[in-house]
Amino acid sequence: MLWLYIGVLCIALGAYYMKKLSKSGVFAAILVGWSISFGLGFFGLLLLAIFFFTSSMWSSLWKGRKDNGIVEKGDQRDAWQVVANGGVAAIMALLYGLSPSPIWLFAFVASLAAANADTWASEIGTLSRQRPFHVLTWKRVEPGTSGAITALGSAAAFAGSFVISFFAILSWWSSYYNSHLLLIALSVVGFLGNFIDTLIGASLQVMYRCKECGVETESKRHCGRKTEYVSGLKWLNNDLVNIACTSAGALLGILVALLLL
């Protein structure tokens, strides 16, 4: 077990030197990684690593093409971003470690599947040749806008959820006679978690407008100036929307566990 904790520490420090994590992000990543190591050991950490490395990979590719100033934060993840994507999974892993039950394991997998779906949709969807639709108004909006969807982004979301679910099946349920049904169910659950994220982002997430260039953004500052409030709940930023995404995934994962096991 000790080597897992050391591995988490080394990976977090490596991510910091590669500028994938801020200083606060390193501490949060260590806490999340150690929690998952305690509860689910190597296989739980493997799923977390798949999420982190694939999301970092997509974030690094085509970086310049995706930077339009709409999103609040950049590629270097701080503590809030780490907790928003992995905090719920860490709690589920801790619960499993304290009281082993397939319910917590399903919730863990589904939470990470939702986080991976959301990240893949955000990173890959912005590369679509077609401008995205707003999920509520169905009007064309700028890539990166909260609540925007594309066919490419939706396909990427399902693929991201599928990847996490696939490795979870190999890790824990490869001998289960209905493993193919579990794979489909968990992939769909992760995708639905991402869709809930999209709906909340479209309807409730706070948005601002830049006084200089007129673009709507998640950030309180744009073009070097303070932005003005436009819509949404002022306290509901993208990190809290991501927590809602992973929480929805965990709850749906528990439902799958109750139905299929």
Contacts of 244 (CB under 8 A, 6+ apart): 196, 197, 200
Beta-bridge mates of residue 256: none
Longest CA–CA separation in the chain, Å: 60
Q: How crowded is the C-beta side of 113, counted as CA atoms within 13 Å?
A: 36
pLDDT in single tens digits along all 261 residues of the chain:
788 999 999 999 998 998 889 999 999 999 999 999 999 999 999 999 999 989 888 877 755 555 555 665 556 789 999 999 999 999 999 999 999 999 999 999 999 999 999 999 988 888 888 888 889 888 888 777 788 899 999 999 999 999 999 999 999 998 887 888 999 999 999 999 999 999 999 999 998 888 888 777 888 888 878 889 988 898 999 999 999 999 999 999 999 999 887
Amino acid in the structure at residue 74: G
Q: Nearest CA to 118 among 97, 79, 89, 96? A: 89
Residue boundaries of the structural domains of the chain: 2-260
The model's pTM: 0.91
* Joined tokens for residue 15: 């991510």
Q: Nearest CA to 190 among 221, 217, 165? A: 165
Measure the CA–CA gap between 133 and 125, rounded to whole angstroms.
11
